[in-house]
């Protein structure tokens, strides 16, 4: 029996942005499959509805891949694909496998010789990099930096030094309710002429993307509390 295909389906970053964030091919795809592996069932169902799902949601097969229900045995998640059904994978926001779960499912699909198809959609990391004006040919995404203050401060200094050494853009995120505390650390630790890009509420009407020196940010510190934000650090003496 021929195996099905695993479709990696992006989820919007902000409410009401389906029209500018999701492709027509994604619309066609969600209406051709009825089985999904999802990080957050409520978010997934809402996104499918707003993206133009015609199939009654009561007919959908939803596999819960949330943090507390994740099963290390991935066979159950891929049983439908093995039987010839196409299946979609959806994280809570953005693109599966990029700062979101999905890599384990995709890796297992490759081990089982299952076709994997990534669909076009919004990634806050790449949108922020595009709009930053920083080096887009050499960059590194570190996800969340350490929670412990001493370890976090050490990491920030390491990233700044790495950026200066090889001209590489350093990208990282923080839990939204800790954004202001994290920004305070950046402004205290980084050198005055180091450039920092803050990209918040991407794709939403309240979106803000600004790149400034640390000195300039200190003059007017934004309130980032509970706002999804991507931070990018760049230090290159040549530019």
Condensed to tens digits (0 to 9), the pLDDT of residues 3-36 reads: 999 999 999 999 999 999 999 999 999 999 999 9
Question: How far is residue 44 from each of residues 23, 50, 127, measured CA to CA in Å?
Answer: 16, 10, 22
Q: What mean pLDDT do residues 169-188 have?
A: 96
User: pTM for the complete prediction?
Assistant: 0.92
Q: What mean pLDDT do residues 59-78 have?
A: 86
Q: The CATH number of 5-118 is which of 3.40.190.10, 3.40.1010.10, 3.30.70.2470, 1.10.10.10? A: 3.40.1010.10
Enter the CATH code of domain 124-234: 3.30.950.10
Give the total residue count for the chain. 239
Q: Is the pLDDT of residue 239 over 80?
A: no
Residue spans per domain, the chain: 5-118, 124-234
Mean pLDDT of the chain, nearest integer? 94
Tell me the C-alpha distance between 207 and 14, whole Å. Answer: 10
């Amino acid at each position: 029996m021929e195996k099905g295909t695993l479709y990696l389906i992006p989820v919007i970053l902000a409410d009401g942005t389906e029209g500018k964030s999701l492709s027509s091919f994604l619309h066609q795809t969600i209406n051709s499959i009825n089985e999904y592996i999802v990080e957050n069932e409520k978010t997934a169902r809402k996104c499918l509805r707003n993206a133009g799902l015609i199939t009654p949601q009561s007919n959908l097969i939803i596999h819960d891949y949330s943090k507390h229900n994740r099963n290390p045995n991935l066979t159950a998640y891929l049983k439908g694909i093995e039987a010839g059904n196409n299946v979609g994978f959806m994280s809570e926001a953005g693109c599966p496998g990029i700062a979101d779960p999905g890599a384990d499912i995709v890796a297992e699909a490759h081990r089982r010789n299952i076709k994997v198809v990534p669909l076009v959609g919004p990634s806050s990391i790449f949108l922020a990099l595009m709009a930053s004006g920083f080096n887009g040919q050499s960059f590194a995404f570190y996800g969340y930096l350490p929670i412990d203050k001493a370890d976090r401060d050490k990491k920030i200094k390491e990233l700044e030094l790495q950026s200066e050494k090889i001209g590489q853009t350093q990208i990282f995120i923080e839990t939204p309710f800790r954004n202001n505390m994290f920004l305070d650390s950046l402004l205290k630790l980084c050198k005055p002429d180091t450039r920092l890009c803050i990209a918040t509420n991407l794709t939403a009407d309240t979106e803000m993307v600004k790149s400034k020196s640390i000195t300039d940010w200190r003059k007017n510190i934004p309130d980032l509390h509970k706002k999804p934000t991507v931070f990018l650090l760049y230090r290159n003496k040549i530019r």
